[in-house]
Amino acid sequence: MRLWLMVFLCFVSFQSLADICHWSQWNKFKQEYVHHGRVIDGSDPRLITTSEGQSYALFFALVANDKKAFSDIFNWTQQNLAGGDLSAQLPAWLWGMNTSTDKFGVLDSNSASDSDLWIAYSLIEAGRLWKNFYYQSVGYLLAERILREETVMLDNGQRQLLPGAKGFINGPHHYRLNPSYAPLQLLKRMSVLYPASGWGNMYHSTQSMLTHVMPKGFSPDWVRVNNGDYFPDEHSGVTGSYNAIRTYLWVGMLNEADPYKKILVNMMAPMIFATDKLGAPPEKVNSQSGTYSKPGNAGFSAALLPLLSSIDPLLCKAQLSRVNALLITNGYSHYYENVLALFGLGWIQHQFRFGSNGELQPQWSSQQCV
């Protein structure tokens, strides 16, 4: 009861029943960024589309009960990123204009495992919620391919998600990982649906990784693991920034019954302190020393709302006001900021929740919106 009261206090002045049942922010994002099923990131002159953008849009369309948009996004992704069959190959992560030929197409055929995981999850949950066997089947086959092609078993017996199918194995027993790529609720869902597979191991192993790489309560963007031990990344070092902000987002959105939520939320207390001190989540942190720099953008504030809602409702309300004041929703040059906002605001507005088994609980599935 106390938690729900805190969440209510965080967004009560911002919320209406109409917004709950008809997600106006998704409709605005769709209008600005989604064209014929393709999510366009206009911040890049090549007008790129990433599998990340497609995966998030699939999830948001499901949350909004937008079957037409979901179908369009799925079909575009399958045809243009996966050679026409998502059950047969992992999607390419980058599509856009080739500046040498002025033609549009795949720019990098490597995969991005976080996107693949969100696509598989969204398809599986769409199959359940909409009773669509085709979506559910494709999601299952994609999930199986992720396990085969994008995971690795460490020497200590822990299975971890590689960031992509290629390029992240640095040598024998030496890998490059991204802590924000494997949301625990998605891994939990897969482990419940497919208990005989490696998802359960990866769920527990991901939590173990997070506790090892945040000695000061801040997540790095990237890490190296060698023989089961974690080290700073060779390229990004100990910096936590635009990747790592999602780590706090995923933890904040965990179901209260998840056995790891309290542990991880308590570990992240320094991020809450830094946000209070700066007036916003820091754009960059040193995950080893705990030092941080200037405030992040409105998307950073939105990403922290779920975490703040259960710890500091007044700070949550202040960050919500910051999002409303600073978020740029017009045009299509602020893609990443807006997807972070859709996650954070959508959760705060109770557009969706994740159940104790990782299942999606969209607001439209309740009697309130029937």
Which two three-digit tokens encode residue 29? 């994002």
Query: Is 54 domain-assigned?
Result: yes
Three-class HEC string of 260-298:
CHHHHHHHCHHHHHHHHHHCCCECCEECCCCCECCECCH
Q: Which residues contact 163 (CB under 8 A, 6 or more apart)?
A: 112, 113, 114, 176, 177, 178, 181
What is the pLDDT confidence band of residue 9, given thresholds at 50, 70 and 90? low
Query: Is 174 domain-assigned?
Result: no
Query: Is 216 domain-assigned?
Result: no
* Amino acid 190: pLDDT: 99
pLDDT tens-digit readout, 347-362: 999 999 999 999 999 9
| Nearest partner of 351 among 20, 42, 105, judged by Cα | 20
**Residue 100 CA: distances (Å) to CA of 42, 103, 107, 110:** 19, 8, 11, 20
Q: Please state the separation of Cα 187 from the chain's center in Å.
A: 12
Catalytic residue among 32, 41, 66, 114: 114
| Nearest partner of 169 among 224, 209, 221, judged by Cα | 224
Residue 85 designated active-site: no
Question: To the nearest whole number, what is the mean pLDDT of the chain?
Answer: 95
Query: Is 82 domain-assigned?
Result: yes
pLDDT tens-digit readout, 288-341: 999 998 999 999 999 999 999 989 999 999 999 999 999 999 988 999 999 999
Which two three-digit tokens encode residue 75? 């079909």
Distance CA(130)–CA(71), nearest Å, equals 12
Query: Is 65 domain-assigned?
Result: yes
Query: Is 63 domain-assigned?
Result: yes
- Report if pTM > 0.75: yes
Arithmetic mean of pLDDT, 19-41: 93
| Percent of the chain surpassing pLDDT 90 | 90
pLDDT tens-digit readout, 71-113: 999 999 999 999 999 999 999 999 999 999 999 999 999 999 9
Distance CA(294)–CA(296), nearest Å, equals 7
Amino acid (1-letter code) at residue 68: K
| Nearest partner of 219 among 235, 198, 240, 188, judged by Cα | 240
Query: Is 95 domain-assigned?
Result: yes
Distance CA(8)–CA(24), nearest Å, equals 19
* Amino acid 133: pLDDT: 98
Residue 52 designated active-site: yes
Run of H or E residues at 94: strand 94-98
* Amino acid 331: pLDDT: 87
Amino acid (1-letter code) at residue 219: S
Catalytic residue among 32, 41, 52, 72: 52
Q: How many domains does the chain have?
A: 1
DSSP 368: G
The boundaries of the domain holding residue 117 are 41-149
